[in-house]
A and B are shown apart, each in its own frame.
Chain A
């Protein structure tokens, strides 16, 4: 415990808990806007920290990832237990869901085998009571030997009591004599033997008895660590024991559940089984293979409707009154300044910042919708309904939602992959997400396809959407097999009880994602926008003689394979900043004005139908806009995977473009 004067001291409290127990609500109630969101060192998993003051103490709160256990089954579990063992927080608060107390106490059983002070926050007691489950916190606390605080975090009940209890614990005024779980009798001898073998060889700060237990559980990380530490003969003996007891995990886990049974016997009264809860009723529809699918499509349709009804007009307002007005103001104010400075500010900086700003309304709506569906408990159902389809690509059911959002905009799609727990499935989803044709790309198709194909435009547009999705499936399957090792993604997912959403939780999650987007992606978008402007304006000031045009001419041989001139290649390059640029660039290069009027005659004369089709396909499949690339970097945390994603899309888009043009040429169609 912390020593010394009550004045001006600081302590650290770690918040642990299984997923879906309202842990983030508790964290939000404790810390509010003092939160800092970052990543765990060297990991792509979000780390939230925050502080509060109470009774002269500054309390740093660290939100650990939600985990079912502390075995190294996932990155989250490793992070949580490494933090507890290595950083030794002063207290661990474990939040448990009163409606599934026994399963939740499993994590408590694991925590108690570590030498650390534990306080139990018994959350969702209101829902438990509605179900007829009565838990006496004092009796439960006495059995466990820990302080137990009943809470309804979503209604801000019990949070103050938790703060007071923590204060008493750090002052040594609360009882903490935990009743630690013991292993089943039949494995006690083996565990003692393992303990003897590792004695004196366990690296700091790992407790020896905990290491022996994890060895017996078959924990990969601990096994690897001890294989390195132990000398040959000792390791041989340990290894022999572990081989003989390969299924010891069941005995250890079974032992923990027996212990849990003893802990809850006195303090919990349960109703007779057989009640039909609200969750059961809603799930009759929500998880049904057909009705569930229709419900999902309905909900997604609603999200899109909201986006277009509210988001698009807002986007336009921001563009007109902030971005255009800003650029106009710069041009006016700096009328006497050198042209390059005006261009840099108006077309580079403000255009880049404008891209960032105009994304905000759509992102807010998407993330609010995602946050609401997640908080209500629906997200897991959507994943369940879609799992059978996503499985084919080695993806998880949870990959569906972010991918579907990609039709609106790839940026929230990539950021939305955070709901996928498995890092591999998440990476795969991020890599294929840009193959979902977003509205900006389809808008370009909507302008160009009628110019090229007249009445057949709608057919071409739908064909391009189908082509994108077919490629998404093929690329997904190939990446799954070749790059990510074809590992089967186990589908095990808790379907939490439905509950009333908490506005504060949703609001904070939207706020944090916005801040992350502005800070991380915003700076990349701005930088790229300025660079592309410079390339298009230097050295002469007009695009025809610019560096960008020179790059376009360099790419002409590649373009020739698709029947495209250098102007079309330049149009593709400028689409990197924003997809809509394609049309403006073509307008300038073919001297038709920026509005696209007259572009038809200008372009139709240059492009054969085969080349036009190839161009549209490349433009739909091309590397996504800089905002998407920036969030790919933000979410993967790796330039390597970001480059891989860009390279992949370049190869796919050009390969498809060349294939379309060459096949059409060989068939003698449209040339």
Chain B
């Protein structure tokens, strides 16, 4: 079954995703990883108006991300058929 990874920026408010990987340069990956965006981490979308920056909750922390930065975090939606059997 194909797991459909999608960019974090595609999540709607309230939806939860599980990080699969990070694209982008080393500096960005390293900064995101330090904040807790590592594989298997849970990310909840808090605010996303479809344009401009957005807010997510990761490891009990509200983090504001530019849309470009959020597009580099690849996630699998929690609750969708991702083969992890959670929820």
Is there contact, CB below 8 Å, between A388 and B53?
Answer: yes
Contacts of B1-46 to chain A: CB distance below 8 A: 21-22, 26-36, 38-41, 46
Q: In the complex, how many angstroms separate the beta carbon of B21 from the nearest chain A beta carbon?
A: 7
Interface flags for A388-399 (1: CB within 8 Å of B; 0: not) read 100100000100
Is there contact, CB below 8 Å, between A250 and B22?
Answer: yes
Most buried by B among A220, A253, A280, A289: A253
Is there contact, CB below 8 Å, between A100 and B30?
Answer: no
With both beta carbons as reference points, the residue of chain B lying nearest to A246 in the complex is identified as B26
Q: In the complex, how many angstroms separate the beta carbon of A279 from the nearest chain B beta carbon?
A: 7
| In the assembled complex, A654 has its CB within 8 A of some CB on chain B | no
Contacts of B36-87 to chain A: CB distance below 8 A: 36, 38-41, 46-47, 49, 52-53, 55, 58-66, 68-69
- Chain B residues with Cβ below 8 Å from A384 are 53, 55, 64
Is there contact, CB below 8 Å, between A68 and B34?
Answer: yes
A488 to B28, CA, bound (A): 11
Is there contact, CB below 8 Å, between B62 and A492?
Answer: no
Is there contact, CB below 8 Å, between A490 and B26?
Answer: no
Is there contact, CB below 8 Å, between A492 and B30?
Answer: no
| In the assembled complex, A154 has its CB within 8 A of some CB on chain B | no
Is there contact, CB below 8 Å, between A73 and B27?
Answer: yes
- Chain A residues with Cβ below 8 Å from B61 are 100, 103, 494
Is there contact, CB below 8 Å, between A100 and B64?
Answer: no
- Chain B residues with Cβ below 8 Å from A40 are none
- Chain B residues with Cβ below 8 Å from A106 are 34, 36
- Chain A residues with Cβ below 8 Å from B26 are 218, 220, 246, 249
A289 to B36, CA, bound (A): 26
- Chain B residues with Cβ below 8 Å from A218 are 26, 30
- Chain A residues with Cβ below 8 Å from B63 are 492-495
A287 to B31, CA, bound (A): 23
| In the assembled complex, A254 has its CB within 8 A of some CB on chain B | yes
- Taking a contact as CB atoms closer than 8 A, the residue among B33, B46, B60, B69 that contacts A250 in the complex is B33
Is there contact, CB below 8 Å, between A287 and B65?
Answer: no
A219 to B55, CA, bound (A): 28
A280 to B46, CA, bound (A): 9
- Taking a contact as CB atoms closer than 8 A, the residue among B21, B52, B69 that contacts A388 in the complex is B52
A287 to B38, CA, bound (A): 26
- Taking a contact as CB atoms closer than 8 A, the residue among B46, B59, B69 that contacts A492 in the complex is B69
A101 to B59, CA, bound (A): 8
A287 to B62, CA, bound (A): 12
- Chain B residues with Cβ below 8 Å from A599 are none
Is there contact, CB below 8 Å, between A73 and B30?
Answer: yes
| In the assembled complex, A217 has its CB within 8 A of some CB on chain B | yes
When A71-B30, A99-B60, A387-B53 are in contact, do A492 and B35 touch as well, CB less than 8 Å?
yes
With both beta carbons as reference points, the residue of chain A lying nearest to B34 in the complex is identified as A69
Is there contact, CB below 8 Å, between A493 and B59?
Answer: no
Interface flags for A231-264 (1: CB within 8 Å of B; 0: not) read 0000000000000001101100110010000000
Is there contact, CB below 8 Å, between B66 and A249?
Answer: no
Is there contact, CB below 8 Å, between B36 and A257?
Answer: yes
Q: In the complex, how many angstroms separate the beta carbon of A213 from the nearest chain B beta carbon?
A: 13
A287 to B52, CA, bound (A): 12
Is there contact, CB below 8 Å, between A73 and B38?
Answer: no
Is there contact, CB below 8 Å, between B34 and A380?
Answer: no
- Chain A residues with Cβ below 8 Å from B59 are 100, 102-103
Is there contact, CB below 8 Å, between B60 and A253?
Answer: no
A392 to B55, CA, bound (A): 20
Is there contact, CB below 8 Å, between B68 and A488?
Answer: yes
A69 to B40, CA, bound (A): 20
When A69-B30, A249-B29 are in contact, do A491 and B39 touch as well, CB less than 8 Å?
no
Is there contact, CB below 8 Å, between B66 and A491?
Answer: yes
A257 to B59, CA, bound (A): 10
A69 to B35, CA, bound (A): 8
With both beta carbons as reference points, the residue of chain B lying nearest to A279 in the complex is identified as B62
- Chain A residues with Cβ below 8 Å from B69 are 490-492
When A254-B38, A254-B40 are in contact, do A68 and B29 touch as well, CB less than 8 Å?
no
- Taking a contact as CB atoms closer than 8 A, the residue among B46, B47, B49, B60 that contacts A102 in the complex is B60
Q: In the complex, how many angstroms separate the beta carbon of B51 from the nearest chain A beta carbon?
A: 8
Q: In the complex, how many angstroms separate the beta carbon of B66 from the nearest chain A beta carbon?
A: 3
- Chain A residues with Cβ below 8 Å from B41 are 257
Contacts of A273-301 to chain B: CB distance below 8 A: 279-280, 283, 287, 289
Q: Could you show 27 A-B contacts with beta carbons less than 8 Å apart?
A: A69-B34, A71-B30, A102-B60, A103-B61, A217-B30, A218-B30, A220-B27, A250-B22, A253-B33, A254-B33, A254-B39, A257-B38, A283-B62, A384-B55, A387-B66, A388-B53, A391-B66, A490-B28, A490-B66, A490-B69, A491-B53, A491-B65, A492-B63, A492-B69, A493-B64, A494-B61, A495-B64
**Given A217-B30, A249-B29, 11 more pairs with CB closer than 8 A:** A71-B34, A73-B34, A100-B59, A247-B29, A250-B38, A253-B34, A283-B46, A289-B52, A387-B52, A397-B53, A491-B65
| Top 4 A-B pairs, shortest CB-CB distance | A491-B66, A253-B33, A69-B34, A495-B62
